[in-house]
Structure 1
Amino acid sequence: MAVRSIEKGEDAKRAIQESTGCEPDTVEVWALDLSSYDSVKAFATSAAAKLPRIDALIENAGIASVEWSMAEDNESMLTVNVISTFLLAYLLLPKLRETAARYNTRPNLTIVTSDMHYTVDFKEKDAPEGIFSCLNNPKKADMANRYPLSKLLEVFIVREMAAQRPAESYPVTINMTNPGLCDSGLGGTATRSLLAKIFYFLTARSCEVGSRNLAYSASAGPETHGQYLDRCGVQTPATITAGVVGMNTQRNVWDEVNAKLEKIQPGITKNL
C-alpha cells in the first residue's frame, strides 16, 4: 500500500487487519509522494526489485484544491493527478508484463478517475501555446474546474494507451474507474462548510461502496482495456472524448504528456 503519510498508512493497515483478520505481514506500507518525481522513481525502483509479482496496480492517489500551487514543473494537480500518475504507470509496466509472462496471468493497471470529467468543456485544448503551457499559467487558470479537468486528462491518456497497445496483442489490461463521490479525506473534511457537510451526508458513497469499483476494475478482463468503468461495468465517457475533435485532443494530450515524461526520464515512454 503506497501512502504519502506513513502514519495514516499504518492506521489503514491496522484497520485492514482488524476487519479481515489477516496476518501482520499481509499488508506493507510504503512511502510514495506523487508531488515529487524522485519519490515516484524511488518507489517504482523498490517495487520492481522487491516484489516478486504485481497482479494489479491501482493508482488511486489524487489531490483537489481551488488554490494555485506548484509541484515540480506544473501546477500541483497536474503533477500529482496526471504526470506522476503516468510516470508511475510507465515505470511499473515492465514489471506487470514480466508478471504476465512468468505466471501466465493478465495483470491490470487501473487509473482512478472521476465522473466529474463529464462537467469539463476543456477550452484550453485549443490554446495556441499548447495545453499544458496554458494550464500552467496562473493568470489563465480556472482552479474551480482544475480537478475535474485533471480527471479528463486521465481519460484521454488511458484511451490512447489502449489504442497504442490493443488488448489482443498486449498482456496487461489498462483501464480506468470511477469510485464516485466518497466521504474520504480528499479535499479535506475539517474545513468543509455546513452546506458541503450536508451534501456529502446526503449524496456521498461510503469508501467501502466506492472501493467496489476499484476491486472490479483491478480484476476485470481484457474487454475493459481502455474503457471507463463505473457501477461495476463499462460506461461511455464524456462526449468531449468522442469523434474527430475528441481523437485529435486525445493525441495532443498524449503527445504533451509523453514529452513531459521523457524530460523526467529519457526513454521512459518505450516502457509502454
Structure 2
Amino acid sequence: MLPIGAYLYSQLIFHPPYPTEKFTGQTIIVTGSNAGLGLEAARHFVRLDAKKVILAVRNLDKGEAAKKSILTSEKKAEDVVEVWELDLARYQSVKDFATRAEGLNRLDVLVENAGIVTFKWTMTENNESTITTNVVSPMLHAILLLPKLRETAVKFNTLPRLVFTTSFVHWVTKFPERNEDKIFEALADPKKARMDDRYNISKLLEMYGVQELAALESASTKKGRVIINHVNPGWVVTEGMREWTGMKLLIFKFFRMIFARTTEVGSRTLVNAAEGGEATHGQYMDDCRPGSDEGKSVQKKVWKELEEKLEGIQPGILRNI
C-alpha cells in the first residue's frame, strides 16, 4: 500500500521542476500525445529545441489539432512536429509504425505514454483491451524501435532514452492473478475479471516489463547504450475516469481538484525522465528521482509470459534486445 504521508507530500508539497535542459537536434517520439500528459510533454520537447517531435496518436485529426496547438504556442516551424498514426489496440498498427520509424535519420527519445482506463470488458488481440493497450503493445513498440535507438547511440555518440509512463497505482492492487498458472490467460477470462482494478494491474505489469527489459539491455553485448526507465507522473488532471457518472464522478472530481497536478506539471516528470542518465536506468522515477519499485516477486514470471506473447506477434523480436 502506498504510504499516505509520501503520497500527500508528492501531490501537495513537491513540485516537479520546470524543464530547462535542451534537446537540440534530437528526434523524439511521444505516444498518446494528442492530449493530456503526452501533449504537454511534446510541447516541452518542442520548446526545448528538439529538431523533430513525432506525435504518435490513434486519431490523426486530434493529432493535427495538437500539432497546431504546439506550433502556435511555441512559434516553431511547421516541420518540427509530425503526426503519425499509432493504434495500440492493433498489433499491425504498432508494426507499421516501427517500419516507418526505421526510415528516420535518428531517434533520441521514445516516450511510451499512451494508455487507457476502462471499466468495460472488451477484447483486443486476444487480451482484455487494457492489457493489450497498456502492457503488450507498448512493450512491442519499444522493442521494435530499440534497434533505431541503438543505431542513433552509435551513429551520433549519444545516449538515447526509452521512457515509459507508469503510475503509483501499482501500489494499490493486491494482484491475486499472480497465483495463476498463466497470468495473462487469467486476465483474459471475463469470468475472473475485476475491472475496477484492471488499470492498476496493467501498470504493475508494465513496470515489471520495463524493469526486465532494462536488465536485459544492461546485459546486452549489442553496440549502442540506451537508458530505459519508467516514471510516475502522480495524480494528474485528465479525463481518465470519464466512464464514471453520478455521485461517484462528483466525489472523484472534488478530490481531484484538491490533490491532482495539472497536465503541464505532471508532464514535467516525463521530460525529466527523458533527461535521465545512467543512475536512472531500470529505475522507477518518482518525484523526479529513483523511487521504490517493490513487489518484484513475480516479475520474472510476467516477463516470461510477455516474451511468449511478443514472439508470437513478431517472431524473432527478442533478438532486438
TM-score (norm 2): 0.79
Task: Quote the residue 2:100 is aligned against.
Answer: 46
Is this contact kept in 1: 2:166–2:230, CA < 8 A?
yes
Q: Which runs of 5+ in 2 are unaligned?
A: 1-54
| SS of 1:139 mapped into structure 2 | helix
How far apart, in 2, do the equivalents of 1:101 and 1:187 lie?
A: 43
How far apart, in 2, do the equivalents of 1:225 and 1:133 lie?
A: 30
How far apart, in 1, do the equivalents of 2:287 and 2:78 lie?
A: 32
1:213-237 alpha-carbon deviations (Å, 9 max, x no partner): 1001011101111000021111112
Deviation at 1:114, TM superposition (A): 0.6
| SS of 2:78 mapped into structure 1 | coil
| SS of 2:290 mapped into structure 1 | strand
Which of 220, 243, 247 does residue 276 from structure 2 map onto? 220
1:240 paired with 2:295, answer yes
Which of 160, 164, 168 does residue 115 from structure 1 map onto? 168
Alignment of structure 1 residues 1-272 onto 2, 5 Å: 1-49=55-103, 51-128=104-181, 130-166=182-218, 171-188=225-242, 193-237=249-293, 239-241=294-296, 246=297, 249-272=298-321
1:163-193 alpha-carbon deviations (Å, 9 max, x no partner): 2222896600010011112112334389572
How far apart, in 1, do the equivalents of 2:191 and 2:132 lie?
A: 18
How far apart, in 2, do the equivalents of 1:162 and 1:259 lie?
A: 18
Q: Which runs of 5+ in 1 are unaligned?
A: none
For the aligned residue pairs, the C-alpha RMSD in angstroms reads 1.6
How far apart, in 2, do the equivalents of 1:172 and 1:153 lie?
A: 21
Q: Identity, % of aligned pairs?
A: 48
TM-score (norm 1): 0.92
Q: Which amino acid aligns with 1:68?
A: W
| SS of 1:166 mapped into structure 2 | helix
Is this contact kept in 2: 1:56–1:219, CA < 8 A?
no
Q: How many residues align?
A: 263
How far apart, in 1, do the equivalents of 2:318 and 2:239 lie?
A: 32
User: In 2 relative to 1, CA 2–92 (structure 1 residues): closer, same or farther, beyond 3 Å?
Assistant: same
1:139-181 alpha-carbon deviations (Å, 9 max, x no partner): 0111111101000011111111122222896600010011112
Q: Which amino acid aligns with 1:182?
A: V
Deviation at 1:252, TM superposition (A): 0.6
| SS of 2:82 mapped into structure 1 | coil
Q: Which amino acid aligns with 1:17?
A: L
Deviation at 1:38, TM superposition (A): 0.6
User: In 2 relative to 1, CA 146–54 (structure 1 residues): closer, same or farther, beyond 3 Å?
Assistant: same
| SS of 2:81 mapped into structure 1 | coil
| SS of 2:237 mapped into structure 1 | coil
